Structure 1
Amino acid sequence: MIEVKNLVKIYETKKGCVTGVDQVSLTVKKGEVYGIVGYSGAGKSSLIRCLNLLEKPTSGEIHIDGVELTTLSKTELRKARLKIGMIFQHFHLVSAKTVSENIAFALKAAGLPKAKIHDRVTELLDMVGLSDKKDVYPAQLSGGQKQRVGIARALANNPSVLLCDEATSALDPSTTKSILSLLKKINSELGITIVLITHEMEVVKTICDRMAVMQDGKIIEEGDVYEVFANPKQSLTKDFVNSILQFELPERLLEERQGKLIKIYFQGEIAEQGVISDVFQTFKVRGNILHGKIEYIQDIPLGIFIMEITGEQVEMDRAIAYIAARTKNLEVIDDAA
């Protein structure tokens, strides 16, 4: 488990002091995947680098598996860091060493007996799907393969925590998907707690159990991923969610509307029920779906549909009231009637 209490990181610059992390407190449960999302400059990189003391906090506490890192001596901290793996956006591989040598370096640094290093490297290469690349150099690898080496190196000493600093930002969408699948597999099979930072909500949606949104060094919203997507509270969180779930209708579709334009949010099992078809069978209205989308977050459906309902005023009102009662979330966005 990771517990952060009142963490502050202040940088001294020529122009004065800059607060990178501002009184952040959070708890990451053992074995979960926790995402921290924010735009550039939000403080998320500073926060994650404080978790293993690559950045020394100005104040606050960091507890990992019951150990308060900020109180440790240099020797104790080196030992504690063996249980905290980290992967980086730009891989940080040693270009003059082969794939095997890059991974073995972490094992040698930890003092693993030479006789055991070969077997452990072989095991790690198999885990990340690079058994056939053990003797090649980083320059001969694709971006996704380089990140797999980075993951293998981070796992070398059997950490209990894996920190991911924008681990997929330099990768194309297809490769990102494969890396996220690998991380989810590692989390599931090894029980490793994963903390990742990103500016991409798609990453959070795909892999995380819980999440936090950072802005100006502070955590402004936190919760279960599905709940944050379904009911974002802060304007920045809504912007992030909109990048995944929302859409703008072309102006031509908004012209010459004759009925009511409504936006319907379907959450959970209701998204898989025939609410709209029931409306057309029950009320004397017509409907025209202009846009719609269903995303599956943590295997739970979350849908948004925009549609126009036409008919007599009374029937439209009754139909809308019925949909609102079934979905618990409906918004009339234009009422030409």
Structure 2
Amino acid sequence: MIQIQHLSKVYQTKEKVVKGVDDVSLDIETGEIFGIVGYSGAGKSSLIRCLNLLETPTSGTILIDDVNLTKLSGVKLRQARLKIGMIFQHFYLISQKTIFENIAFALQAAKMPSNKIETRVMELLEMVGLSEKRDVYPAQLSGGQKQRVGIARALANNPSVLLCDEATSALDPNTTMSILRLLKKINKELNITIVLITHEMNVVKEICDRMAIMQDGKVIEEGQVYDIFSNPVQPLTKEFISSVVSYEIPDTVMSTLAGTLVKITFKGEVAMEGVISDTMQKYRVKGNFLHGSIEYIQERALGIFLMELQGECDEVEQAIAYILEQNAQVEVIRQHV
């Protein structure tokens, strides 16, 4: 388990003092994939670099498996860092070394006996699907393959925590998905805790269990990914989610609508039921679908629909009340005109 308690990181520039991380407290459970989302400058990279003390926190405490990293130094800190792997956006492979040698370098630095290094490197290459690339150089690999090497290197010393700093930002969408599937596989097979920094909500939606949104060095919202997607609270969170699930209606269409415009959110099994058709049959209301989809987050359905409801005001109100009774959320965007 990772426990971050009142963590702050302050940077002193010539002009001013900048709070990169501002009194952040988070608990990340063992074996979960936790996403930290924010725009550039939000403090998310400073936070993740504090987790393995690449950045020294100004104040606060970091405990990993009950070990207080902020109290360690020298040999003890180096030993603790061996249990924290890290992968980066730009790979940072040694161009003059083969793929085998890049991964072996991490094991040599940890003073693994030379007679065990080859076996371990081949295990790691098998894990990331690059066994046939052991003797090639980084320049001969695609971006996705380079990141797979970075993952293998980060896992070399059997860490309990894997930190991912914008690990897919330099990759195309298809390659991103393959890397995310690999991370999910590693998480399940090794029960390794993954902390993933990103500005891409699609990444969080795909593999994370829980998430936090950062702004100006602070955590402004956190919770289960499904709960945040289905009921975001903060304006910034809503903005991020709209980049994945957008329901904007063109003004030319809006100007033609005379009925009541509603946004209906169905969670879990309710998303798969015929609530809307039941409502139309039960009440003298016509429904005009304007936008909608069913997303699958953490293997749970989340249905969001924009509809125009046409009919007498009392019938529309009764229809909305009925939908609410079916454990759906209804937001009236514009009343009947």
Q: Same-fold call, TM > 0.5?
A: yes
1:55 Cα offset (Å): 0.4
Question: Secondary structure at 1:244's aligned position in 2?
Answer: coil
1:315 to partner: Cα distance: 2.2
How big is the alpha-carbon RMSD for the aligned residues of Structure 1 and Structure 2?
1.1
Match of 1:242 in 2: 242
Residue correspondence of structure 1 range 1-337 to structure 2 within 5 A: 1-337=1-337
SS in 1 for 2:183: helix
Paired residues of 2:279 and 2:323 also in contact (CA < 8 A):
yes
C-alpha deviation, 1:117, in angstroms: 0.5
CA distance in 2 between counterparts of 1:316 and 1:16 reads 57
How many angstroms apart in 1 are the aligned matches of 2:101 and 2:190? 24
Q: Is residue 94–residue 138 contact of structure 2 (8 Å, CA) maintained in 1?
A: yes
CA–CA separation in structure 2 for the residues paired with 1:70 and 1:259: 60
Q: CA deviation at 1:210?
A: 0.8
Amino acid at match of 1:60: G
Kindly state the Cα deviation for residue 237 of structure 1 after the two structures are TM-superposed: 1.1
Q: Using the TM superposition, give the Cα deviation of residue 327 of structure 1 relative to its aligned residue in structure 2, in angstroms.
A: 3.7
Supply the distance in 2 between the matched residues of 1:327 and 1:73 (Cα, whole angstroms).
Answer: 53
Partner amino acid, structure 2, of 1:50? C
* Aligned AA (2:58): T
Q: Once superposed, which parts of structure 1, at least 4 consecutive aligned residues long, lie more than 3 Å away?
A: none
Residue type at the aligned position of 2:71? T
SS of the residue corresponding to residue 244 of structure 2 reads helix
Alignment check: 8 A CA contact 1:24 1:219 kept: yes
Whole-Å Cα distance in 1 between the matches of residues 86 and 166 of structure 2?
11
The alpha carbon displacement at 1:8 in A equals 1.0
TM-score by length of 2: 0.98
Contact 2:266 2:303 in 1 (8 A): yes
**Contact 1:264-1:327 at 8 Å conserved across structures:** no
1:215-259 deviations in whole A, cap 9, x for unaligned? 111111111111111111111111112222232111221122232
Q: Is the 8 A contact 2:85 2:163 kept in 1?
A: yes
| 3-state DSSP of counterpart to 1:23 | strand
For 1:288, what is the secondary structure of its paired residue?
strand
1:310-331 deviation line (CA, Å, top 9, x unaligned): 2233322222221222244112
Q: Secondary structure at the match of 1:329?
A: strand
Indicate the percent of aligned positions where both proteins have the same amino acid.
67
> Is the CA contact (8 Å cut-off) linking 2:263 and 2:304 kept in structure 1?
yes
**For structure 2, which runs of at least 5 residues remain unmatched after alignment?**
none
Partner of 1:4, secondary structure, is: strand
Q: Which amino acid aligns with 2:197?
A: I
Contact 1:265/1:327, CA 8 A, preserved across alignment: no
Is residue 313–residue 336 contact of structure 2 (8 Å, CA) maintained in 1? no
SS in 1 for 2:106: helix
Residue range with higher mean Cα deviation, 36-45 or 12-21: 12-21
Deviations 1:182-230, CA, capped at 9 Å, x for gaps: 0000000000001011001111111111111111111111111111111
Q: Distance in 2 between matches of 1:256 and 1:241?
A: 27
Q: Is the 8 A contact 2:91 2:146 kept in 1?
A: yes
Instruction: Kindly state the Cα deviation for residue 34 of structure 1 after the two structures are TM-superposed.
Output: 0.7
Q: Greater CA deviation, 307-316 or 184-193?
A: 307-316
Deviation for aligned residue 1:16? 2.3
Unpaired stretches in structure 1, ≥5 consecutive residues? none
* 8 Å contact kept, 2:264–2:328: no
What TM-score does the superposition give when structure 1 sets the normalisation length? 0.98
CA distance in 1: counterparts of 2:30 and 2:238, whole angstroms: 28
Given residue 39 of structure 2, which amino acid in structure 1 is its aligned partner? Y
